[in-house]
């Protein structure tokens, strides 16, 4: 039986998890892919840190580029993170040396995926990244392989466990955003730069990768409309629940005419839908195709075990000799994404703060009507002060109509705070 030798760059939570699987499941891995899988060498920032796994049997390289070039490394596993710098340089070095690459680096792929895919195909080696999107959920494989016979119409999902934790914790305990944000920070759930999580950037990277596979385009992260969860209040969560909805940071990529609309933003989904029932730090990806219908994938979106599991799935595909272009079809044939701004028409939730005076609601209704937006439901809540909280649910409308209405509301003289507008997705 032949041996496949790994070089692992990055020994944080995920890297240590991969080492543990290789050490503990050697016989099982060999039985399933027909080759022994071993670790030849590793690289990380510090040699002295205790990572909870025995690294004494592996060669050490301080420079990940040197690791990528080693003669005894058959597959380069990049788990350092970062869109540029050592991660990108070492992946480029591995591909130039004709070595397969397995990575969990969504930021690098979202920004440089096309160039790296072309380099991998030119070298005739795989570039695999299942672990870059939604942890243990095999959504990359589902799109590129399982749904290969479908015309995909929509991909959507909750792809950042930290944001889902914050929103579900706010709802369950009735806590304000700022308090749960600090709790998440204390638990170590947030990135060093929290805006990567709560600003939707991390999840936007993942959506851009899935969108490229789903619609056969080049990765277009710049085309993802990003809106974080910072302005979602406990009142929004309660009022959405009153109407049978829950708020999720939801990524949506959908085919609209000849283009693709991509967005990552707080969205209302039916409480009784699979997405609405999602709790805690769990992820979910929903894929819709013309032949298969709707496919729902749910599982752990982060952590040592789940992400390492996805890394090893890619390693084992390489060991089996499975060859597939990184984005499901040859990179040279991927067209630049044609951006369809706004997507299809959707209903919206609007939260307004109005002066409690005669005619205020009439002025709001006039502005909405002039923008071509009709009202489905409207509620006014009890209030102790001079400003009245008003909730409006619109009938489906175009994004540009909503933008015109929001701009018009500023000139009514009765809106006392910037409106909160959240899309409603029926799933």
Nearest Cα neighbor of 101 from 326, 251, 363 is 326
Average pLDDT over residues 109-132: 97
Among 104, 144, 100, smallest CA distance to 126 is for: 100
Structure confidence by residue, pLDDT tens digits, 324-344: 999 999 998 898 888 886 668
Domain co-membership, 372 together with 296? no
Would the pLDDT of 382 be above 80?
no
Does residue 290 have a pLDDT over 70? yes
Q: Are residues 287 and 390 in the same domain?
A: no
Q: Could you give phi then psi for residue 33, rounded to 5 degrees? A: -120, 0
Q: Read off the pLDDT of each residue in 334-356 and give the average, rounded to a whole number.
A: 86
Q: Is 95 helix (H, G, I), strand (E, B) or coil?
A: helix
Q: Does the residue 382 lie in any domain?
A: yes
With a cut of 80, say whether residue 312 has pLDDT above it. Answer: yes
β-strands 127-128, 420-424 pairing: unpaired
What distance in Å separates the CA atoms of residue 1 and residue 240, rounded to the nearest whole number? 58
Same domain, 154 and 257: yes
Q: How confident is the model at residue 205 (pLDDT cuts 50, 70, 90)?
A: very high
25 contact partners, CB below 8 Å, separation of at least 6: none
Mean pLDDT across 376-399: 85
Residue 312 lies in a domain: no
Query: In the prediction, which pLDDT does 24 show?
Result: 96
173 and 290 fall within a common domain = yes
Mean pLDDT score of the chain, rounded to an integer?
Answer: 93
What pLDDT is recorded for position 140?
Answer: 97
Tell me whether residue 320 is in a domain. Answer: no
**Cβ atoms 245, 275 nearer than 8 A:** no
**Helices within 321-398 (DSSP H only):** 360-370
Indicate whether 278 pLDDT > 90. yes
The rounded distance, in Å, linking the Cα atoms of 181 and 141 is 33
- Which of 132, 164, 195 lies at the terminal end of a domain, its last residue? 132
What are the counts of helices (DSSP H) followed by strands (DSSP E) for the chain? 14, 16
For residues 358-379, give the mean pLDDT: 91
What CATH number has the domain bearing residue 58?
Answer: 3.40.50.720
DSSP character for 333?
A: G
* 167 shares a domain with 275: yes
Tell me the pLDDT tens digit for each residue of 149-180: 999 999 999 999 899 999 999 999 999 999 99
If asked whether residues 180 and 248 sit together in one domain, one would say: yes
Q: Residue 142 — very low, low, confident or very high, per pLDDT cuts 50/70/90?
A: very high
- Parallel/antiparallel/unpaired status of strands 245-256 and 282-289: unpaired
Q: What is the pLDDT of residue 3?
A: 96
Are the CB atoms for 226 and 345 separated by under 8 Å? Answer: no
> Which pLDDT band, with edges at 50, 70 and 90, does 291 fall under?
very high
Q: Rounded CA gap, 345 and 374, in Å?
A: 13
Most confident of 63-72, 191-200, 391-400: 63-72
326 found inside a domain = no
- 249 and 267 fall within a common domain: yes
Residues paired with 265 in a beta bridge: 250
- Model pLDDT, residue 363: 92
CA atoms of 373 and 370, how far apart (whole Å) = 7
- Residue 348's pLDDT is what? 95
Are 247 and 219 part of one and the same domain? yes
Residues 227, 362: one domain? no
CATH number at residue 401: 3.30.70.260
- Mean pLDDT for 412-426 is 90
Residue 354 domain flag: yes
In this predicted structure, what is the pLDDT of residue 411?
87
Q: What is the pLDDT of residue 342?
A: 62
Q: What is the dihedral of CA 52, 55, 60, 63, to 10 degrees?
A: -30
56 and 148, same domain (yes or no): no
User: Does 343 fall in a domain?
Assistant: no
Question: Which residues are known catalytic residues?
Answer: 206
155 and 288 housed in the same domain: yes
Alpha helices (H) in 174-303, listed in sequence order: 177-186, 195-198, 201-215, 234-242
Residue 242's pLDDT band, with cuts at 50, 70 and 90, is confident
Q: Is-above-0.85 flag for pTM?
A: yes
Residue numbers of the domain that contains 375: 348-424
Here the CATH number for the domain that contains residue 272 is 3.30.360.10
Residues 102 and 214 in one domain: no
- Which of 86-100, 159-173, 343-357 is predicted most confidently? 86-100
User: Does the pLDDT of residue 299 top 70, yes or no?
Assistant: yes
Q: Is residue 319 a part of any domain in this protein?
A: no
């Amino acid at each position: 039986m032949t041996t496949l030798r790994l070089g692992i760059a990055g020994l944080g939570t995920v890297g240590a998890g991969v080492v543990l699987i290789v050490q503990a499941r050697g016989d099982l891995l060999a039985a399933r892919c027909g080759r022994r899988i071993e670790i030849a060498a590793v690289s990380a920032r510090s040699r002295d840190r205790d990572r909870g796994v025995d690294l004494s049997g592996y060669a050490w390289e301080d420079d990940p580029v040197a690791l990528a070039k080693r003669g005894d490394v058959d597959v380069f596993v990049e788990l350092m993170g970062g869109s540029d710098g050592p991660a990108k340089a070492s992946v480029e070095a591995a591909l130039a040396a004709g070595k397969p690459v397995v990575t969990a680096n969504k930021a690098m792929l979202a920004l440089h995926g096309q160039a790296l895919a072309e380099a991998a195909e030119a070298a005739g080696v795989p570039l695999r990244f299942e672990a870059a999107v939604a942890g243990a959920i095999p959504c990359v494989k589902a799109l590129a392989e399982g749904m290969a016979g479908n015309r995909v119409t929509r991909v959507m999902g909750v792809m950042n466990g930290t944001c889902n934790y914050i929103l579900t914790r706010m709802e369950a305990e009735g806590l304000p955003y700022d308090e749960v944000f600090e709790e998440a920070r204390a638990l170590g759930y947030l990135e060093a730069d929290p805006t990567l999580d709560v600003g939707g950037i991390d999840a936007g990277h993942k959506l851009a990768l899935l969108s490229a596979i789903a619609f056969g385009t080049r990765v277009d992260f710049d085309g993802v409309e990003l809106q974080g969860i910072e302005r979602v209040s406990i009142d929004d969560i309660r009022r959405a629940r009153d109407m049978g909805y829950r708020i999720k940071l939801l990524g949506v990529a959908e085919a609209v005419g000849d283009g693709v609309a991509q967005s990552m933003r707080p969205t209302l989904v039916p409480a009784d839908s699979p997405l609405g029932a999602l709790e805690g730090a769990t992820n979910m990806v929903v894929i819709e195709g013309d032949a298969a219908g709707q496919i729902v994938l749910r599982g752990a979106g982060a952590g040592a075990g789940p992400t390492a599991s996805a890394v090893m799935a890619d390693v084992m595909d390489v060991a089996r000799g499975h060859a597939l272009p990184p984005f499901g079809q040859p990179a040279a044939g991927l067209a630049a994404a044609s951006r369809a701004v706004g997507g299809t028409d959707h209903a919206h939730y609007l939260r307004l703060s109005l002066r409690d005076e005669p005619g205020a609601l009439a002025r709001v209704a006039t502005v909405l009507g002039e923008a071509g937006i009709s009202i489905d439901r409207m509620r006014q809540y009890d209030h102790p002060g001079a400003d009245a909280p008003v909730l409006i649910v619109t009938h489906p409308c175009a994004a540009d109509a909503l933008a015109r209405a929001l701009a018009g509301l500023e000139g009514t003289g009765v809106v006392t705070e910037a409106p909160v507008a959240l899309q409603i997705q029926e799933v």
